Amino acid sequence: MRPLEGRHALVTGASRGIGGAIARALGEAGAALSLLGRDRQALLERARELGGEVHVEVCDVTDPEAVRRAVEGAEAAWGPVHILVNNAGQAESQPFLKTELALWQRMLQVNLTGAFLCTQAALPGMLRAGWGRIVNVASTAGLKGYPYVAAYVAAKHGLVGLTRALALELARKNITVNAVCPGFTETGLLAQSLNRIVEKTGRSPDEAREELARTNPQGRFVRPEEVAQAVLWLALPASAAINGQAIAVAGGEV
């Protein structure tokens, strides 16, 4: 019952939230894990919690040289990366006319360029191994629009586009490329969004939560473990025919 035994999974943004849940799901399925993130202490704590075969690399996914070193370090520990989960991301909100170029570039760099760099670094090993799974954690913002987050929405749409293009390019290489697109999920990122709503609108925390939860037809927030199960399914050997898809994990919102 460990279908990923002998596979090496690398997860970015892996110390907490969705990334942490993904790492746990892949590890429980038998994968050797490499966890990437910017906070060494948080990564080490996550590794201790997970136990088993866990390697840690401190890395800013927007830094090409840091990404190269991190993937090389992961490969030195466990061999070629078979499963790459591009989860690292960031969300900031501003009305469009107040969106400064620095914010725009930051959203593109973290949410799109980071996935590009990590994929370029890990893909040669997958090609040598003759097997691979690339899963990009996008967002429902990659499938529809939301007000006041134009830069984030544009970056996540770009990530879905990258997923679809690369899936076709690698279709005959025994490598699949898919995206999962969570709706509002119970993470630290959601807590930050709720705090901004409270600060800018004067609503109470409960009112802010109710407002965001209404976007989900189930009337609730998604749990990180639910996103992790979708990623795990896409990583399984039996999911070889699932390619180029952007799967919403959002209770029917999309």
Give the residue numbers annotated as catalytic, written as ranges: 152
| Angle ∠(204,207,213) on CA atoms, nearest 5 | 140
Tokens of 66: 């840091």
Which DSSP letter does residue 237 get? G
221-233 burial code (b ≥16 CB/10 A, e <16): bbbbebbbbbbbb
3-state SS string over 39-70?
Answer: CHHHHHHHHHHHCCCEEEEECCCCCHHHHHHH
SS3 content of the chain, % helix, strand, coil (to 5): 55, 15, 30
Residues 228, 75: Cα–Cα separation, whole Å: 23
Residues 86, 156: Cα–Cα separation, whole Å: 12
Radius of gyration of the CA atoms of the chain, in A:
18
Residues 140, 124: Cα–Cα separation, whole Å: 30
Contact 167, 241 (CB under 8 A): no
